[in-house]
Amino acid sequence: MSKARPPKATPEEAARFVVGVLREAGHEGLYAGGCVRDRLLGRVPNDYDVATDAEPDQVQGLFKRTLAVGEQFGIVIVRYRGQQIEVATFRTDGDYSDGRRPDSVAYTRSPAEDAQRRDFTVNGLFFDPIAEEVRDHVEGVADVIAGRIRAIGDPRQRFSEDRLRILRAPRFAAVLGFRLEEETAAAGKAMAGEIASSGVSPERIRVELLKLLKCPGRARGWRWCRELDLLPVVFASAPGAVAGAERAERALAELPASLSAEQVLGLPWAAALHTASLSEAEATLRALRCSNKEREATLRLLRALEQAREFPRLTLSAQKRLLRQVDPAELALLLRATELAHEGDLRAYRQLQARRAAFAEEVGPARIDAKPLVMGKDLGKAGIKPGPVFGRVLPLVEEAQLEGRVRTKQEALALALELAQQV
Ligand code: ATP
Ligand code: MG
């Protein structure tokens, strides 16, 4: 008989457990950062982080199952009933000579000091789950209430320590629906150009951009990127996207707020990059180290979009082939958003939608997903020698099939033989 496994804990249950163990051992233990902010906003936190005055080896001694991931930064991961909680020792970060990583970190027993190393006031809050109270050392609650992203301390100094923070500001504005406090925005704008030369890795840039583009507030985040002159930096390989940034913003605003996991791979990138050339778009996605899946989904959509704009002028078979290359619903969303962004008319979009519906109803050999009536081996059997003739004849026969001009294998073969004589 197998023992019933305890059910998986929720992230909050796991965090509460971790805090309880730390407190019983006489340490401080608090929820920290994003989860505190999200709870105040009534949002479900992505993950729960715990901060403590216990040092990493003490944390490791208190829990059965831990992973030491970033010991040099004072971070231990505690596993509890299917969850992982990041436990960070309070620390003050040393100087940032490279603008990326602190040269040294020093532990402190003071949460107030730890709060000072965090980027924005709304991210610098702690919560004591036992007393059920927020600990605010950075006046972050007021900014949560006001919907404001404000750097902790002097924004210029905080941005020069780590220039990625300049991009994180619009990212949080997008995700939370917030705006940037004026001095924070002004410092970001003055320093945006420094991101490129400061050695912030493309991988970190991609993470923030992706969070910005994935969330329903993507157009708002994009607007802040424009406002801070960030686009020439993050889209340096796509001057066409920078020039078309205003239209990209409108296109992003026209996408549905929530997208499926499948749709999110390519649609927001395609909307953002739709005024760039295909080669600029590809260079950008590569420079940002996007996954192959993201890159392929985006480029497939952008290629299809070019044809979709001409939809009413395409032959029936070309329309069918186009709608086979991509998810037709995704293409329709992109076409609609980008046409609205260009104040173009929606004729192509409307016809595409009408045809999609009609094609879905169609039965028989002309339907959009029908197998070809004849294939290479059929031509071989009919006495046509394999070779370049195949390559020219087969697409023409398929075209005739999709347009309903041949309806049986016999008809298709007859057409193939006739065409083979001509080519
Ligand atoms: P999300 O919900 O997207 O995970 P988050 O607030 O948890 O948002 P993370 O990027 O996961 O953001 O970082 C966790 C916390 O670590 C932040 O809330 C912030 O306090 C701190 N932090 C993260 N990155 C930086 C940085 N570059 N500079 C300073 N503090 C940072
Ligand atoms: Mg987080």
Mutate to test the pocket of ligand 1, among 123, 172, 201 (most ligand atoms within 8 A of CB): 123
Output the pLDDT for position 97: 65
Is the pTM above the cut of 0.95? no
Which one of 146, 171, 190 terminates a domain? 146
Output the pLDDT for position 156: 98
Say how many Å lie between the CA of residue 411 and the centre of ligand 2: 62
The residue whose CA is least distant from atom 11 of ligand 1 is 34
Q: Which domain holds residue 392?
A: 376-422
Q: Is 327 in the pocket of ligand 1 (CB under 6 A)?
A: no
Q: Is residue 335 part of a domain?
A: no
- Exposure of 309 in the CB half-sphere (CA atoms within 13 A): 12
Say how many Å lie between the CA of residue 34 and the centre of ligand 1: 6
Output the pLDDT for position 100: 65
Beta carbons within 8 Å of 367's beta carbon, 6+ residues apart = 359
Output the pLDDT for position 108: 93
Say which ligand is closest to the CA of 152: 1
Say how many Å lie between the CA of residue 34 and the centre of ligand 2: 6
CA 395 to CA 244: how far, in whole Å?
Answer: 37
Most confident of 63-77, 91-105, 189-203, 326-340: 326-340
CATH code assigned at 102: 3.30.460.10
Say how many Å lie between the CA of residue 152 and the centre of ligand 2: 18
Output the pLDDT for position 384: 82
The residue whose CA is least distant from atom 10 of ligand 1 is 34
Which one of 146, 169, 198 terminates a domain? 146
Atom of ligand 1 nearest to the CA of 161: 28
The residue whose CA is least distant from atom 6 of ligand 1 is 34
Q: Is residue 208 part of a domain?
A: no
Say which ligand is closest to the CA of 168: 1
The one-letter amino acid code at 205 reads: I
Atom of ligand 1 nearest to the CA of 211: 3
Beta carbons within 8 Å of 128's beta carbon, 6+ residues apart = 30, 31, 134, 135
Q: Is residue 299 part of a domain?
A: no
pLDDT at 15 over 90: yes
CA 195 to CA 186: how far, in whole Å?
Answer: 15
Q: Is residue 42 part of a domain?
A: yes
Q: Is 162 in the pocket of ligand 1 (CB under 6 A)?
A: yes
Q: Which of these, 315, 273, 283, lies nearest to 400 by C-alpha position?
A: 315
pLDDT at 418 over 70: yes
The residue whose CA is least distant from atom 2 of ligand 1 is 46
Output the pLDDT for position 273: 98
How many angstroms separate the Cα of 213 from the Cα of each of 67, 179, 274, 323? 31, 16, 14, 25
- Average of per-residue pLDDT values in the chain: 94
For the segment 402-411, the average pLDDT, to the nearest whole number, is 94
CA 12 to CA 85: how far, in whole Å?
Answer: 9
254 φ/ψ sector (left φ>0, alpha ψ -120 to 50, else beta): alpha
Say which ligand is closest to the CA of 88: 1
Say how many Å lie between the CA of residue 241 and the centre of ligand 1: 28
Say how many Å lie between the CA of residue 167 and the centre of ligand 1: 12
Question: What residue has token string 């620390």?
Answer: 91
Model confidence band, residue 311 (pLDDT cutoffs 50, 70, 90) = very high
Q: Is residue 285 part of a domain?
A: no
Residues 371-396 have pLDDT tens digits of 999 998 888 888 888 888 888 899 99
Output the pLDDT for position 98: 67
Model confidence band, residue 77 (pLDDT cutoffs 50, 70, 90) = very high
Say which ligand is closest to the CA of 208: 1
Model confidence band, residue 240 (pLDDT cutoffs 50, 70, 90) = very high
Atom of ligand 1 nearest to the CA of 35: 7
pLDDT at 1 over 60: no
pLDDT at 313 over 90: yes
Mutate to test the pocket of ligand 1, among 44, 119, 125, 135 (most ligand atoms within 8 A of CB): 119
Q: Is 164 in the pocket of ligand 1 (CB under 6 A)?
A: yes
Atom of ligand 1 nearest to the CA of 37: 6
Model confidence band, residue 2 (pLDDT cutoffs 50, 70, 90) = low
Atom of ligand 1 nearest to the CA of 162: 27
Say how many Å lie between the CA of residue 123 and the centre of ligand 1: 7
CA 259 to CA 255: how far, in whole Å?
Answer: 8
Q: Is residue 66 part of a domain?
A: yes
Q: Is residue 136 part of a domain?
A: yes
CA 303 to CA 165: how far, in whole Å?
Answer: 34
Output the pLDDT for position 382: 83
Say how many Å lie between the CA of residue 71 and the centre of ligand 1: 18
Question: How many structural domains comprise the chain?
Answer: 2
Which one of 96, 115, 146 terminates a domain? 146
Say how many Å lie between the CA of residue 91 and the centre of ligand 1: 15
Q: Is residue 303 part of a domain?
A: no
Residues 194-226 have pLDDT tens digits of 998 888 999 999 999 999 999 999 999 999 999
Q: Is 165 in the pocket of ligand 1 (CB under 6 A)?
A: yes
